[in-house]
């Protein structure tokens, strides 16, 4: 027997994602941002290093710089000066002599090894070395990290904090990044109220738009917030037209199902076109993708978990592509299931789960207790989706399943 929502003819999620991505074009336009404001932005132009990193041979330790062949003689070495980070020793180190050196200080001419200060005893300027010292010891070589002219990051990369560290180390102060696409957002439903306002009987708070606005700003997108719309075709028409004029894409929630007040899809069909509607996924079946005046339209289901799951699975890859990045699929892991999950073939399931690494059994995952598409507490407590493929049936305790750890904007 099929469950109420498995229907033949629903579009497999992989097809939905690739159909939708095939229609998404990167936005035109580049802007220059300072390095400190570049996290999360997508590089429009690749960046090369103008310098070697490290810029010159330097010491990895606090100690003494010397010539390694001097160590064959058992005689102490005479300290002839000091080399500090930022204040190098400028003379030449001749046989029989050494230089006191600090971490990061330039290696003086004539030296080829550093001995840690812990392996030395000093008697005035006479330095006694204990133990063997190998040539090249404790020296960081010029260019061993990056050489001048090397590409540091290519176009299309989303800038992370480690990227910032690398670029700053190479002396780069500004970056050319892709313009932020502007996303028009509204939620629709006569029952929806803004958090902070009071609720009348039958009202609920608009969690979808609030969460979507947060997700979009986390993804470094510009936002056109069109607010909460009533179930009124004229208002929906007017706001869709505004979004088409002012935004690069539209994300809405609610009004795409089959209820009598589900007008968003109907109005889109009248003003633009529906590319596809209804995806073989759970939650999220009523997802609609379309076009309006040349810009993409993503109609998320109203149910809050469905809205965020479809946003994550179908809209985030599209937004990445619009920003000039490339979506290469979500990283997945395999984990041992700690509780059985009932499922009927027909739709890809995105169960909310919590995974952890058990010292004896390895990676394990537990499905959250209640999986309804209105159960936000389960999504909020989850750290992964348990992805059960469209054709799979129920899975048992101990089965290995695919999990997708939640990444920004939904997790970690």
Nearer to ligand AMP, 83 or 310 (CB): 310
Specify whether the CB–CB gap between 101 and 59 falls below 8 A: yes
324 binds Mg ion (CB under 5 A): no
> Which burial class, exposed, middle or buried, applies to 203 when counting CB atoms under 10 A from its CB (0-12, 13-18, 19+)?
middle
Nearer to ligand AMP, 370 or 394 (CB): 370
Residue nearest to ligand AMP (CB): 302
Three-state SS sequence of 227-288: EEECCCHHHHHHHHHHHHHHCCEEEEECCCCCCCCCCHHHHHHHHCEEEEECEEEECCCCCE
Say which residue the tokens 């020296």 belong to.
139
Please give the residues from 132 up to 191 whose contact with ligand AMP meets the rule CB under 6 A.
187, 189, 191
Classify the C-alpha dihedral 130-70-111-139 as positive or negative.
Answer: negative
29 binds ligand AMP (CB under 6 A): no
252 binds ligand AMP (CB under 6 A): no
Q: Which of 255, 303, 251 is nearest to 281 (CA)?
A: 303
Please give the residues from 191 up to 210 whose contact with ligand AMP meets the rule CB under 6 A.
191-192, 204, 206-209
299 binds Mg ion (CB under 5 A): no
Specify whether the CB–CB gap between 302 and 208 falls below 8 A: yes
| CA–CA separation, 217 and 409 (whole Å) | 9
Smallest separation, CB 380 to ligand AMP (Å) = 14
> Which window, 90-98, 277-285, 302-310, 320-328, contacts ligand AMP (CB under 6 A)?
302-310
Smallest separation, CB 357 to Mg ion (Å) = 41
Nearer to Mg ion, 189 or 367 (CB): 189
Contacted by 404, from ligand AMP, Mg ion, none: CB < 5 to 8 Å by type: none
Could you report how far apart the first and last alpha carbons of the chain are, in Å?
38
Interface pick for Mg ion out of 40, 189, 353, 378 (rule CB under 5 A): 189
372 binds ligand AMP (CB under 6 A): no
Could you tell me which residues are beta bridge partners of residue 395?
341
Residues that bind ligand AMP (CB under 6 A): 187, 189, 191-192, 204, 206-209, 253-255, 257, 259, 262, 301-304
């Amino acid at each position: 027997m099929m469950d109420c929502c498995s229907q033949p003819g629903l579009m497999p999620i992989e097809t939905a994602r690739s159909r939708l991505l095939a229609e998404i074009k990167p936005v035109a336009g580049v802007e220059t941002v300072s390095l400190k404001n570049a996290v999360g932005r997508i590089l429009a132009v690749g960046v090369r290093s103008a310098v070697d990193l490290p810029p010159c041979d330097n010491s990895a330790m606090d100690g003494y710089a010397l010539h390694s062949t001097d160590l064959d003689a058992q005689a102490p070495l005479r300290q002839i000066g000091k080399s500090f980070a930022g204040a190098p020793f400028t003379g030449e180190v001749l046989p029989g002599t050494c230089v006191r050196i600090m971490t990061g200080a330039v290696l003086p001419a004539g030296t080829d090894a550093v001995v840690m200060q812990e392996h030395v005893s000093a008697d005035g300027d006479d330095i006694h070395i204990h133990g063997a010292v190998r040539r090249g010891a404790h020296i960081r070589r010029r260019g061993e990290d990056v050489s001048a002219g090397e590409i540091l990051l290519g176009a299309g990369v989303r800038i992370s904090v480690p990227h910032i560290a690398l670029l700053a180390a190479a002396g780069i102060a500004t970056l050319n990044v892709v313009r932020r696409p502007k996303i028009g957002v509204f939620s629709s439903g006569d029952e929806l109220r803004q958090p902070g306002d009071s609720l009348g009987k039958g009202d609920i708070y608009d969690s979808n738009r609030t969460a979507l606005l947060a997700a979009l700003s986390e993804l470094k997108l510009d936002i056109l917030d069109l607010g909460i719309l009533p179930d009124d075709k004229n208002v929906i028409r007017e706001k869709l037209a505004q979004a088409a004029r002012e935004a690069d894409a539209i994300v809405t929630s609610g009004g795409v199902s089959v209820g009598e007040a589900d007008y968003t899809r109907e109005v889109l069909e009248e003003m633009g076109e529906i590319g596809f509607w209804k995806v073989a996924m759970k939650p999220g079946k009523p997802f609609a993708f379309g076009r309006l005046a040349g810009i993409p339209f993503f109609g998320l289901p109203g149910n809050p978990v469905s809205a965020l799951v479809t946003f994550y699975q179908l809209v985030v890859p599209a937004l990445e592509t619009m920003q000039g990045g490339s979506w290469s699929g979500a990283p997945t892991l395999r984990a041992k299931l700690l509780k059985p999950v009932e499922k009927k073939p027909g739709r890809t399931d995105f169960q909310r789960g919590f995974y952890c690494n058990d010292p004896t059994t390895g990676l394990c995952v537990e499905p959250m207790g209640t999986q309804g598409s209105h159960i936000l507490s389960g999504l909020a407590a989850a750290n992964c989706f348990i992805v059960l493929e469209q054709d799979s049936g129920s899975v048992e305790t101990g089965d290995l399943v695919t999990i997708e750890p939640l990444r920004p904007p939904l997790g970690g």
